Amino acid sequence: MRRRLLVLAAIVYTVPCFAAENAALVLEQVLRAQRLGRNTVLASRTAGGGELTVTDFVVGHYGRAIGFEVGDLYVAQNRERHSLRELLNASSRFVFVDLATLPPDAATWEEIVAQAPGTAGVVLVSRPAFDQAERIAVVRVDTFIRGRHRTNASTMLYLLERQANGEWKIGLISTGGGYEMVHSNTNHRDRHLPKDYDYYHARQD
């Protein structure tokens, strides 16, 4: 009996550790692909948004079952803000900034970059969402870069696959025009997701 309890405890402990390790690996891979410019900082807390856009993206490549599974987890994982420092295991090569206001509460792109004076821009990252087997992951990245006359914004959805050797490889990237596709508010509306859209009731199974 004691041996069974020890084995069960080991399994329970291993699962969250494995998930945390995969989250860190996926985020590292995505941020490496972003090739962050000099003096570009990361928001210290995660930011989700665009739930139906993410679900449609995964459904289009892996079908409804996996797509909705990952979409549901994306919603759950990004309902609350999470420390990006902790998800990345406090990697020292990234510079973080604490933003008091994040989308959708920030009404304009300028409101976001204004919270990081002296920087080239700010990058927001979602918490990764996985399928049950943790072989597929999706991450959303929003960039807000200062231009000469205005702030330029873009959104990228990364779809990654775990390889046989445990490494994560970026398989697909979807790009968008930024804030209007991502976060809904009075000035910039998500093309799929109005501000008070009920994702669960609106989804068609």
Quick: pLDDT tens for 105-141.
Answer: 666 778 888 899 999 999 999 999 999 999 999 999 9
* Residue 3 vs residue 34, higher pLDDT: 34
Q: DSSP string covering 147-180, please?
A: -SSSEEEEEEEEEEEE-TTS-EEEEEEEEE-SHH
Question: From the centroid of its chain, how far is CA 127?
Answer: 4
* Residue 155 vs residue 13, higher pLDDT: 155
Please give the pLDDT value at position 92.
61
Question: From the centroid of its chain, how far is CA 158?
Answer: 9
- For the ranges 41-45, 99-103, 131-135, the lowest mean pLDDT is seen at 99-103
Q: Which residue has the tokens 């420092």?
A: 85
Write down the mean pLDDT value for the chain: 76
Mean pLDDT of the region 181-185: 34
Position 101 confidence tier, pLDDT thresholds 50, 70, 90: confident
Residue 63: exposure state from Cβ atoms within 10 A (0-12, 13-18, ≥19): exposed
pLDDT beyond 90 at 175:
no
